[in-house]
Structure 1
Amino acid sequence: MLNNIKGLTVLWDFDGTLFDTYPVYTTIFKKVLNAEHVDKNEIFRHLKVSFRHASGYYNFTEEQLKDFFLLEERIPPKEFKPFDSVETVLKYADNNVIMTHKLKKDVHKILEYYGWDKHFSEIVAGDDGFPRKPNKKSYEYLHRKHMIDLVIGDREIDIIPAKELGISTCLYQNNGSKIADFYLNNYKEFWNKVAL
């Protein structure tokens, strides 16, 4: 548990944690599926497990995967909205790092658009050569370098590596899981739930 939030080093997931990207991804996913009968809420639920899970569930072909990533690349950064009050938490922490499966250039594009690149000392992205979450190797690397105090993510795969390393965890907008130390529905709750 965290006893003092001051000077905190936080490892953040990107999609669904810092930025509300899933609505955009859901729309692209449905377009690539080209299936009117598939419910957007169902797609959203599968994407929240992981993109790999969702694309496997809907049996995406190689061509559909290419189409998805091509369409994603065309989305302007302004379409990816940051969650309300998350920047306040970023400013409060002493050090912020990101671990994401997203490509580094895409992360930088969005952070730079919002002027948020100044909030992060390091980004480990999907093209940096680490195994995908929930493998803990990227977290081990960041923890050795930065001494992580808290990991915040929106999916279990974001916090499983932290649990294995004995780091405090917070799940954002995901109360269905029972493995995190803290749960937040919005970042305004951060001070009551995490800042002990």
Structure 2
Amino acid sequence: MRDVRATAEPTTNTLARSWREEPRVVTRIEREAAVRSWLLLSAAGADTSRTDWDENGIALLRCGALFSTVRMSAELVEAAAGSNEPEKVRDVLTAALFGGPVFVDTHSGRYYALVPASTANRAEWRERRHAPHAEIRGRDSYVGVPRPGLDEPHPGRFSYWCVPMHGPADLCDPAAVSQLVAHGRHRLTTREAVSGR
């Protein structure tokens, strides 16, 4: 009579090994490609936006479906960071927003934090409590988003990711963005009071 355990054991070990697959390392190129594909789901025309990214480094994407953006003045963000040096601002944003994605448009002097689409429905943003230094861009809004991978300023290009997106749907915590904005507003108000304005 055959020993059933002898034949069953290798099968069990084989299954156990397949369930314990080694973690896979994702390269930066793969991550950026995944982020790019996810962001293009918000494009009016994916081919047009892809071409815009390739040629101009920026593409117009629709807010309110996959994500909304909190648009903040550079004055506010730099007050919150206590500096106008790009490296210092990047470090503060990375820490304060737990690595959530933020890009900057140096031409308009605005920072954009990507947040979940539902953020636009929150009372604190609907009531414009953070105006005039910050506002939500939700449904029916469009924003020029830099191509994933543009993580540094480039000559002739005004927008870049000061905190890159780490993966599809990896967005900022709205509460953290709200706290950052409140901190920046407090510092601006204190500065104005001290200068007598």
Same fold (TM over 0.5): no
Larger Rg: 2
Q: Greater share of strand residues, 1 or 2? A: 2
- State TM-score, norm by structure 2: 0.24
- State TM-score, norm by structure 1: 0.24
